[in-house]
Chain A
Amino acid sequence: MRTRKICFLVIVLAAVIAASYAPAADEKVVVFNPRGIQPDIRKIPMAMRPATLDGKTVYMVDTKYAMTKPFVNELLAALKAKYPGTTWVLREKTGMYMDDDPKLWAEIKEKGAAAIVLLGH
């Protein structure tokens, strides 16, 4: 009877210890990676460049960030003065800076040799 009681107490004690068991500070655990799935990146081949801009049209696309017009105008004036053989065309992109402007991109593809997109902040 006494042996049975001791066995019972040992079992209860073992259960209590098991229930309160927590990994030791030096015990290794396995955890999940909390990151989501990034999409594949499809590489876009860069376009060939013209050897010279003489006789060519280059678009300057202003994304219209607030109060940056003085810089845009100064850059346009400086490019015109330094490279007079090139036609520099300043255009404002539609909408805010994150809005797409497919019509403008189509026009640049048709009429331009290159484009500079600027500026922000």
Chain B
Amino acid sequence: MITMRFQELVTTISYKKGIPNMRITYTPHPITDRPAELCRQYVAGNDPITRQPMLEEIYASLTRPPSEEDRKAGFLKRDPRPRLLPPDTPDKLMEYFHAQGFTDGSPVILPTEQKVKEMLKATSRKPDEWVGQMRPSPPHEAWYYTVEMVAVNAVMAGAKPEYFPTILAIASKGLTSMFSSTSSFARMVVVNGPVVKEIGMNTGIGAMGPVSRANSSIGRCWTLISKNLGGSGKPGETYLGSQGNPLNYGNLCFPETEDGLPPGWNPLHVQKGFNKNDSVVSLFSGWSINDIAWYSPLPIYDVIRGWLEHFFSYGTTQATLILDPIVAADVATKYPSKEAFAKYLADNTGTPGWLYWSQNTAALKQAQSGVEPYATWLKQGQGAVVPVSRYNRGGGGVSRNPSFMAPRSTDEPANSINIVVTGGGTNTFWSGGDFGYAGSGSVDQWR
């Protein structure tokens, strides 16, 4: 049984799982947070799709014999995949690409044989070598792709050949940038190492904005790869984000400003176990970022702490701070490393009472039974801050993890706060968001 809003999803998933005639009963949508009396009416009524009485339909589905066809094994039909498309004019091909969902809604560079050939020259890997597999979300099937297929999408995104190893490194991680969830996920990729200067990524003013071909086209390519090689992005079927997320157009794609790191602050890729001279992509998963410059008599590290304490994204347990180099320099006067600053933040951020109690029902029961310290915390009211951090791993945080089902590091640090430095130093701005680290990959392996 499923709510009627997901008819397309459940019928296509059933087909792809090998049961094309799965028996499904639908309920009205939504079913969450509906009072019992309304639910009783729903159950006594009809399936809103088939118009059959709901209970009788369930009974019949459980007892009606399957057809002879449904009892057979074998393979189901799939559309053929030609390597080249039938010749046509550029205008008609562009319209075809849009109609097939190959684009992100804006025109792309048509992947002609010559352009793909040029792209492939930027790697030593063979065109038919497998790069990886990707799926819209765990219940979905994974699609597979080769170096040549990634090159086709790199051309479409407007990438120069020299960006190709970085794009291959992203593709090799198998992480879709358009995760299919009703909650409209976003992704972020941070590039570190010599490749940043080699390919001209913008680490300065506007590093996260649309002012650099490298930053923009690499980020855009991740979305095209996710749609065309990972099967994501078909609304209702392989993409369910209710409102969608504007970050999905090009993702957050920027390099760390390694030249702007304060002394003692390691680049992100070094924190993740790579050497400083390695070129690396690091992927993150979340939903949103805030861009903040809050002038205050408090030191900036305390402003960030206060923001983090009350930052709310449905109880997220991870955060990523993107600091301008001049903000990092201010913070570094107190904290000699990113790790020290992250520890300070994790150790000194509590959780707003209303959030803590809504997400920790076991603690609430103990509080109501007089068990300390929960009882005292509860007495302080919903508006008080409970001294339990959401960002220390195993610290009693709440349940939502934005990188769920993304590859997780086996040697995770003690807290879930990541810090990256980028920007041009024109103002004391910093960004913070609910992005969690989802893994890093070598660019050098794809040169």
Interface size on A, residues (CB 8 A): 54
Cβ of B394: which chain A residues have Cβ within 8 Å of it? none
Choice from B2, B16, B62, B89 contacting A28 with Cβ under 8 Å: B89
Contact indicator B18/A121 (Cβ below 8 Å): no
Residues 72-112 of A contacting B (Cβ, < 8 Å): 73-75, 78-79, 82-83, 96, 98
Category for how many chain B residues contact A: 35 or more
Contact indicator B81/A119 (Cβ below 8 Å): no
- Smallest CB–CB gap between B144 and chain A, Å? 5
In the bound complex, how far is the Cα of B152 from the Cα of A35, in angstroms? 9
Cβ of B231: which chain A residues have Cβ within 8 Å of it? 36, 38
- Smallest CB–CB gap between A1 and chain B, Å? 39
Choice from B5, B85, B88, B139 contacting A33 with Cβ under 8 Å: B85
Cβ of A52: which chain B residues have Cβ within 8 Å of it? 63
A contact face: mostly helix, strand, loop, or mixed = loop
Contact indicator A71/B65 (Cβ below 8 Å): no
Choice from B43, B87, B113, B149 contacting A34 with Cβ under 8 Å: B149
A-B contact count (CB 8 A): 202
In the bound complex, how far is the Cα of B55 from the Cα of A51, in angstroms? 17
In the bound complex, how far is the Cα of B141 from the Cα of A71, in angstroms? 30
| B379 at the binding interface (Cβ < 8 Å) | no
Which of B32-40, B210-218, B269-277 lies at the interface with chain A?
Answer: B32-40
Please judge, given known A-B contacts A36-B229, A70-B35, whether A31 and B93 are in contact too, CB under 8 Å. yes
Q: List 26 A-B contacts (CB under 8 A).
A: A26-B89, A29-B87, A29-B88, A29-B93, A30-B84, A30-B87, A30-B112, A30-B113, A32-B85, A32-B111, A32-B112, A33-B85, A33-B152, A34-B97, A34-B228, A37-B81, A41-B76, A43-B75, A45-B71, A48-B65, A70-B36, A73-B36, A96-B404, A98-B138, A117-B1, A121-B5
Could you list which residues of chain A lie within 8 angstroms of chain B, going by C-beta atoms? 23, 25-53, 58, 65-68, 70-71, 73-75, 78-79, 82-83, 96, 98, 113-114, 116-121
